[in-house]
A and B are shown apart, each in its own frame.
Chain A
Amino acid sequence: ETGVTQTPRHLVMGMTNKKSLKCEQHLGHNAMYWYKQSAKKPLELMFVYNFKEQTENNSVPSRFSPECPNSSHLFLHLHTLQPEDSALYLCASSQGYIQYFGAGTRLSVL
């Protein structure tokens, strides 16, 4: 248990659906991250939030929309996804160099 909780663990959605991924940490960390992990590829950084402000958007398509209402919660809103968006989506938080990862949400887009 890393202290970073992601829900749901698994999600199947159609290309016309709208869904949201949730990440929660109560470690007192100020930075939160969304990563995408596709098969046989390195983890890809998607978004970084510091003190609720987005500090990094790694050229992510607009069909992925992050939201950080407070330092403990991070959402990733999904709409009109493509099958190639199927992947494991990982959330992490940090205070300094060490990042603590959630267990991820495995997303399948049909």
Chain B
Amino acid sequence: KNEVEQSPQNLTAQEGEFITINCSYSVGISALHWLQQHPGGGIVSLFMLSSGKKKHGRLIATINIQEKHSSLHITASHPRDSAVYICAAVKSSGDKLTFGTGTRLAVRP
């Protein structure tokens, strides 16, 4: 069992829908990253958060440290949001990232 679990593994949505991707982790962490990987491989860091909530445009990330859970929300989804979304935990003991397996999102026009 991975230390970082994501759900769902695959998600198909219609343009305009509100999307939620979940991440649960079983280890103590100091921070959690949400990353976006487009077809072709390039990875972009979306958020790093250690508590509460962050918002950037149509993207919102939340984290509940007590419940060891984080969510990434996309409002008014668009086909260009189609990508793999990966959460990665930074353990308290150092700065290595432990990655989830990713959620593949497809947004249909």
Contacts and interface: CB of A to CB of B under 8 A. Distances in A.
Contacts of B100: 42
Contacts, number: 53
Interface residues of A, number: 22
Interface in B24-82: 31, 33, 35, 40-45, 48
Interface of A: 2, 37, 40-43, 45, 48, 56, 88, 90, 92, 94, 97-104, 106
Given A2-B42, A103-B40, A43 B86 contact: yes
B42 A104 contact: yes
A14 to B, nearest CB: 23
A42 B4 contact: yes
Contact of A97 (B41, B42, B95, B99): B95
A56 B40 contact: no
B42 A102 contact: yes
For chain B, what secondary structure do more than half of its interface residues adopt (helix, strand, loop), or is it mixed? strand
A89 to B, nearest CB: 9
Nearest to B9: A40
A36 to B, nearest CB: 11
Contacts of B43: 2, 90, 92, 101, 104
Interface residues of B, number: 23
Interface of B: 2, 4, 31, 33, 35, 40-45, 48, 86, 88, 90, 95-102
For chain A, what secondary structure do more than half of its interface residues adopt (helix, strand, loop), or is it mixed? strand
A104 B38 CA distance: 11
A60 to B, nearest CB: 14
A106 B101 CA distance: 18
A88 B99 CA distance: 15
A90 B102 CA distance: 15
